[in-house]
Amino acid sequence: MIKKMVFVISALRGGGAEKFVLNLYKAMEKYQGYECHIVSIEKAVEHNIDGYRVHFVSEFCNVSKKGLRRLIYKKNVAKAVDDYICENISKDAFILSNMLLSDKIMSESKLKVHHVIHNSYKTAFLSGKGFLQKIKIKNNINRLYRNHPLVFVSQASEIEYNEEFYSPFDNHVIYNPTELSDLQILSNSIVEDLEASYLIHIGRFNRQKRHDRLIKAFSRIENKDIKLLLIGNGTLKPESEKLVSDLGIEDRVIFKGFIENPYPYLRKSKGLVLTSDFEGLPTVLIEAIALNTPVITTDCSGGIREIVGDNENVISLCSDIGELSKMMDNMILEPNKFQCLFPHKLKAKEVTLQYHSLNSYD
């Protein structure tokens, strides 16, 4: 009997959690023989989903938020999702819930659900908050994850979660999967030649990614011939465009928007620069290392050291824009010092074995 796996996710926009779902879907089918499905709460898609079994909640659920019904909205949607999975996929399906909106709904599920925690919840939710705010947030998070076990994408994210929040379950750490052969093929695709040498950042324009920090540091580098390529979309993109204009570096910064296959650009770059305030296990950093691309990352909370290993040269303080700028110049001059070994534990086959074991164990 073929085992069934369902990924429930808030949407299929161009982020790391979405990439995780698509990568693990393919890997579980390839290495473990599962039949996989995706259930998306919102009908918002940026990725190419041809060949994936995708089900949109809006196509089988019409739950009202009006009046008092909003109080039981999540419970009603969860029941609709449960019923749909039982009737159309399998009542014994192994379900992974991804992203906060999905978690809020699937926390009410009666099926076999694990919540995948993709970020450092301590930093993401509590940083900068007052005492009473923190108590309220902690209670909300503890209530949200009271019904199902958790899967953390790094040891660091599990440790930080346990420092501030509570879970009644035996939880697990399973890293994000990387299929090296697929990545190499995608990186060899033919794309436009940008002519100039460039550094690259790939990620959604939001508060977490700190494009402002990246752009300010880039504006200070001594090498004025190198450009900065920014791949991604998001609500804060206009802010970044204005900052680039205010700093007078429009001719050196390229906004490319979301690209389904950014890997040729990543492979050809002089280096990836990650400037986030917090991460769980940043997929793009792993992919850059897999493609032998030099990297720089802020010392954002999460599993950074679980990715880069012993190479402390690549880690910058979050608060020090001057240091980040100097590191960019150094990476251009001495790229070998900013390369890391790819960790075996991140290979797709290894990761699928752990998820299969988790399913079999439970």
- Contact assessment for residue 36 and residue 68, using Cβ atoms and an 8 Å cutoff: no
On whether the CB atoms of residues 103 and 90 are closer than 8 A, the answer is: no
Task: Compute the C-alpha angle 356/361/362, nearest 5°.
Answer: 105
**Domains parsed from the chain with CATH numbers:** 4-177+347-361 (3.40.50.2000), 180-344 (3.40.50.2000)
Tokens 């060899």: give the residue.
188
Give the Cα separation of 283 and 83 in Å (integer): 33
Q: What are the tokens at 42?
A: 């919102």
CB of 2 closer than 8 Å to CB of 29: no
Which amino acid is located at 139 in the chain? Answer: N
- Report the SS3 class of residue 6: strand
- Give the per-residue pLDDT at 193: 83
For every one of its 362 residues, what pLDDT tens digit does the chain have, with 9 covering 90 and above?
Answer: 899 999 999 999 988 899 999 999 999 999 999 999 999 999 999 999 999 999 999 999 887 666 666 768 899 999 999 999 999 999 999 999 999 999 999 999 999 999 999 999 998 999 999 999 999 999 999 999 999 999 999 999 999 999 999 999 999 999 999 999 999 999 999 888 888 899 999 999 999 999 999 999 999 999 999 999 999 999 999 999 999 999 999 999 999 999 999 999 999 999 999 999 989 899 999 999 999 999 999 998 768 999 999 999 999 988 899 999 999 999 999 999 999 999 999 999 999 999 999 998 76
The side-by-side arrangement of strands in the sheet containing 150-152 is 54-56, 35-40, 4-9, 94-98, 113-117, 150-152, 172-173
Extended beta strands in 66-197, E state: 94-98, 113-117, 150-152, 172-173
Look up the pTM and report it.
0.91
In angstroms, the Cα distances linking 25 to 118, 150, 224, 262 are 16, 18, 42, 20
Give the Cβ contact number of residue 170 at 10 Å: 9
In this predicted model, what pLDDT tens digit does every residue of 239-288 receive, in sequence order? 999 999 999 999 999 999 999 999 999 999 999 999 999 898 999 999 99
Strands (E), 123-239: 150-152, 172-173, 198-202, 227-231
